[in-house]
C-alpha cells in the first residue's frame, strides 16, 4: 500500500529558529496539503499545492510559512521563525486528483521551546 512519508517524526527547535518539515507524497499523486493539529485540538488546514503553486491557504499560513516541491518527490513546509504556538503535529497529505480522499502521513511532532 503506497504511503506518505514524513520526516522527522519529532523535532524540537528553539523559538525563533527556522524549521523544515519534509514529506514524500505518493508518487503518482498531484495534489499536496499541509495540516496541523495542536495537542487535543482540531485538525487545521494550512495550505494546498498543485502544479508548483499554492492553490489555497488559510489565515494561519502567514508570511512565516512557505512550501516547496524542490524535486519530483519531496514536499516541504518551512517555518521561518518559529513561535511557541507553532508547537503541533504537522500532517502532510496527498491526493491523486481533486475531489478524492487524501492519504495522510504519520505526522511530524514539532515542539518549540
Partner 1 sequence: SQQGEEDPQALSIQEGENATMNCSYKTSINNLQWYRQNSGRGLVHLILIRSNEREKHSGRLRVTLDTSKKSSSLLITASRAADTASYFCATDARTSYDKVIFGPGTSLSVIP
The residue ranges that bind partner 1 (CB under 8 A) are 31, 33, 35, 42-45, 48, 50, 55-56, 58, 91, 93, 98-107
Q: Using omega within 30 degrees of 0 as the cis cutoff, is the peptide bond preceding 77 cis? A: no
Pairing between β-strand 108-112 and β-strand 10-13 as defined by DSSP bridges: parallel
Helix (H, G, I), strand (E, B) or coil at 38: coil
Among residues 17 and 77, whose Cβ is nearest to partner 1?
A: 77
Nearer to partner 1, 25 or 105 (CB): 105
CB of 16 to partner 1, least distance (A): 27
Q: Whose Cβ is closer to partner 1: residue 66's or residue 103's?
A: 103
- What nine digits make up the cell of 100? 478524492
Amino acid at each position: 500500500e503506497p504511503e506518505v512519508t514524513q520526516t522527522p517524526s519529532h523535532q524540537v527547535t528553539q523559538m525563533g529558529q527556522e524549521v523544515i518539515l519534509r514529506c514524500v507524497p505518493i508518487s503518482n499523486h498531484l495534489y499536496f496539503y499541509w495540516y496541523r493539529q495542536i495537542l487535543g485540538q482540531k485538525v487545521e488546514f494550512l495550505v494546498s499545492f498543485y502544479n508548483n503553486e499554492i492553490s489555497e491557504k488559510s489565515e494561519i499560513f502567514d508570511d512565516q510559512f512557505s512550501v516547496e516541491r524542490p524535486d519530483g518527490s519531496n514536499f516541504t513546509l518551512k517555518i521561518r521563525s518559529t513561535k511557541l504556538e507553532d508547537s503541533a503535529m504537522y500532517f502532510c497529505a496527498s491526493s491523486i486528483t481533486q475531489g478524492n480522499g487524501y492519504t495522510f502521513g504519520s505526522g511530524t511532532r514539532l515542539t518549540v521551546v
